[in-house]
A and B are shown apart, each in its own frame.
Chain A
C-alpha cells in the first residue's frame, strides 16, 4: 500500500509541477510583465529596475519559478487586468457553478448508466440490449457540444419546453447535464453490462438459481451487488473528466462557471484569470483522481501491485 501511495503521490506532484511550469513559461513568453504595469513610457531606468526587483525579475529564472510557486501556495493568483480584482476571488465565485453542473451530470450518468447496464445484461442479445449499446456508442461518438446545441434546438427553440441558456432553477440543469453526462453514462452502462454478464454466468448465481431464488432477487441481490465495484470506481474517475468537459458544455449553454470564465479570458487576453482558472481546475482534476486511486487501493487489494 505504501509503495502504491508513494507512486500516486509522486505522479500527482509531477503533474502539478508540470502544469505550473507550463503556465510560468508561457507567462514569460507573453513578455516582460513590467509593460503591463507601466502604461506611460517615460519612466526612469532606476524606477524600471526597482520595479523589476520588486517583481523578482532580477533573480535567476529558477528562483523566479520558485517564487511563483510560493505565490500560488499562498493563494495569490494575481490580479485580473479587466476586473481589477484578485483572480482568486473571481475563480472562487464561479467554482460552485461548475461543480454543480459536473455533479448533475455525474448523478445523471449513474442514474441512467447503471439501470441500462443491468437491463442490457439481463436482456442480452435482445432489443433492449441493442438500444443500450447504441446509447453507449453514440455517447462516445457524438461531440458533446453538438449534442448540446441540438438539444437547445429541439427542446428550447422548437418545443420551448426548457430554458436554453444560463443558470437558475432546476430546469436549467436538464439540458447541460444530458450533454455533459451522456458520454460517461454510456461508458458506465458498458462497464455495468460487462460486469453483470460476468457475475450472471458465475457459479454462485447458478447456485442461487438452483436453490430457487427468484429472478429479481438473483439479479439485484446476487449479481448486481458483486458487479458494482468496477463501475463505481470508474464513476470516481469520470469526475475529473466531467469538470474539464464542463468547459465546453458551459460555453454551449452560457453557464456562468469556470469554463465560460476561461473562454472569456481567452477572448479578452486576460492571462492572469486564465492561469488562475487553469490552476484551480488542474488541482481539482489531479485531486479527484488521486482520491479515487487511494480509495480504490483501499477497497481492492489487487490494484496495489
Chain B
C-alpha cells in the first residue's frame, strides 16, 4: 500500500455553502451579468415599444418642439426630450432600436445560413470547390460594403430588404471562413469516418455530425458580429440609405439632430448612447461566450 497517507478531511461543518456575498460575487465574475441585464432590458423595451412607448414615434406636437429632457430636471413631459418637430426622443429610440435589432437579427440569420452552408461545402469537399469559395471570401473582404449600399440606394432606392441583403453580403464570409476551418478538422475525426462506413449519406453526415460540431463556432461569430451589424446599420441610416423614413432609426435620429446641436443636443446624444449600450453589452457577452465555447479563439487577456 503506497497511499497510506490519510489526507486531512475538510471540516464539513459551518460553511457548507459559501456566504451569500461571495456567491453573488462569483456569479458576477463567471457571467457577464450587467451586460445580460442591460441588453435584456433594451431588447424588451424594443419588443414592447408599441405597448410602453409614451408617445407615437412619428407624431410630433409642435408646441413640444425642442422640449428639454425631464431626466435632467427640465419641466417637460418628455423624459429624454423632444426633437425639432416635437416628437418624443425616448419613444423614437424604442422604435429605432426595434428596427436596429430586427435588421441585425435578419442579417445574421441570412449571413449565418449562407456562410455556414458554403463553409461546410468548402471544408468538406476541398479541391477546386474549396479554392473557388475561399477566393470569393477573400474578394468579399476587399469590397467596401458601405459603397455598395450607396450605389444600390441610388439605383434601386433604399428599402428594408435591400439593407438586409447588403449587410449580409458583408457578413457571410466571416462565417464561411470559420466554419470551413472547423469542418476541415472535424472531417478526419473517427466518428465521421465511422458514419461514412455505416453508410450515412454526405448530407446526413454534414447535418448530423458536422453541423453540431461547428455550432458553437457559429454562435460565437454570430454574437460578435451582431454589434458590428448594428453599427453598420446605424452608419447607413446616418448616411440616409438605411431603412427609409418615416420609420425611426437610431442612425437617422443622430443625423437629424446634428442640425439642432446648439438648441437641442439630446436629439443626437441619446440615440448614440442607446447604440453604444447595445453594442457594449454584446461585446462583453460575445467575449464571454468565446471564452466559454471556443477557447482556441481566446486572446491573452
Contacts and interface: CB of A to CB of B under 8 A. Distances in A.
Interface in B238-264: 238-241, 251, 254-255, 257-258, 261-262
B300 interface: yes
A17 to B, nearest CB: 8
Contacts of A190: 299
B112 interface: no
Contacts of A137: 280, 283
B276 A271 contact: no
A243 to B, nearest CB: 8
A281 B142 CA distance: 11
Given A7-B135, A142-B272, A275-B151, A248 B238 contact: yes
Interface in B103-122: none
Nearest to A145: B238
A269 B154 contact: yes
Contacts of B275: 142-143, 146
B234 interface: yes
Contacts of B269: 150, 153
B152 interface: yes
B265 interface: yes
Contacts of A247: 146-147, 150, 239
B155 A27 contact: yes
A22 B142 CA distance: 14
Nearest to A195: B300
A11 B150 contact: no
Contact of A194 (B146, B235, B299): B299
A156 B75 CA distance: 28
A11 B235 contact: no
Nearest to B272: A146
Contact of B156 (A29, A262, A274): A29
B235 A145 contact: yes
Contact of A266 (B136, B235, B240, B301): B240
Given A141-B280, A143-B272, A149-B268, A285 B154 contact: no
Contacts of B268: 146, 149-150, 153
A244 interface: yes
B139 A18 contact: yes
Interface residues of B, number: 47
A18 B235 contact: no
Contacts of A282: 142-144, 147
Contact of B150 (A18, A144, A274): A274
Interface in A113-162: 137-138, 140-146, 149-150, 152-153, 157
Interface string A5-40: 001101110110011001100110110000000000
A263 interface: yes
A11 to B, nearest CB: 3
B299 A248 contact: no
Interface in B57-107: none
B206 interface: no
Interface in B186-244: 227, 231, 234-235, 238-241
Contacts of B139: 11-12, 14-15, 18
Contact of A26 (B152, B235, B240): B152
A157 B257 CA distance: 14
A30 B234 contact: no
Given A269-B154, A271-B154, A12 B300 contact: no
B279 interface: yes
Given A7-B135, A142-B272, A251 B151 contact: no
Contact of B276 (A30, A141, A266, A267): A141
B139 to A, nearest CB: 4
A289 interface: yes
A26 B138 CA distance: 23
B151 A263 contact: no
A219 interface: no
A10 B138 CA distance: 9
B33 interface: no
Contacts of A274: 150-151, 154
A262 B142 contact: no
Interface string A148-187: 0110110001000000000000000000000000000000
23 contacts: A11-B135, A12-B139, A14-B136, A15-B139, A26-B154, A26-B155, A29-B155, A138-B280, A140-B283, A141-B276, A149-B254, A149-B258, A150-B268, A153-B261, A157-B262, A247-B239, A251-B239, A262-B147, A266-B240, A267-B240, A269-B154, A271-B155, A274-B151
- Pick the 10 closest A-B CB pairs, nearest first: A11-B138, A146-B272, A14-B139, A26-B155, A15-B142, A15-B139, A141-B279, A244-B144, A194-B300, A286-B142
Interface of B: 135-136, 138-144, 146-148, 150-156, 227, 231, 234-235, 238-241, 251, 254-255, 257-258, 261-262, 265, 268-269, 271-272, 275-276, 279-280, 283, 299-301
Given A146-B276, A248-B239, A289-B141, 12 more contacts: A19-B143, A26-B151, A143-B251, A146-B272, A149-B254, A198-B300, A247-B147, A266-B239, A267-B240, A271-B154, A277-B147, A285-B142
